Amino acid sequence: MRLALLSLSLCVSLLSTAAVAQTKPEDAIKYRRSVYTVLLWNWMPMNAMVRGRIPFDAAEFASRAERVAALAPQLLEGFPQGSHEGATTDAKPAIWTNFDDFSAKMKDLERETAALASIAKGGDQAAIQEQFAKTGGTCKACHDEYKAD
């Protein structure tokens, strides 16, 4: 049974990799825009809580932080080689010429969003605010270099 599940997982993984490799630029752009939209849908209420614009709700914050942490690892796959060609996006061409650095920044986002989700489960508002700032810093680091205004 385990061997069958392992074989199935390997097949699905290989098919997924092949599908990403054959993705049209416009499909990759739609994908990454949709992931960013859902990420922001969850990020902005957390931002409002941290800034005191809405009441802090530890359970709601933790739920949204968990969603953001689940979305962050999905972002990088929305930037396959060539997905900047023939389209107008906010993604700077430097993403593809400095892909190792871009990937590292995306991994930083993954790490910090996972930390935010973990800390948010504890409900300590001061610790949450500190980690939220760190997480936001990873967003800014990437946007500064790789996102057009």
Segment 42-87, tens digit of pLDDT: 999 999 999 999 999 999 999 999 999 999 999 999 999 988 877 7
Hey, is 91 helix, strand or coil? strand
Give 4-50 pLDDT, tens digit per residue: 444 444 444 444 444 445 789 999 999 999 999 999 999 999 999 99
In the CATH scheme, what is the homologous superfamily, with its name and number, of domain 24-146? Cytochrome c/b562 (1.20.120.10)
Provide the residue ranges of all domains of the chain, joining segments of one domain with +. 24-146
109/104 Cα distance (integer angstroms)? 9
Residue 130's pLDDT band (boundaries 50, 70, 90)?
A: very high
Alpha helical stretches, state H, 1-149: 2-21, 25-50, 58-75, 94-97, 99-122, 125-146
pLDDT at 117 over 90: yes
Q: What pLDDT is attached to residue 21?
A: 55
128 CB burial (10 A radius; 0-12, 13-18, 19+) = buried
Read off the pTM: 0.82
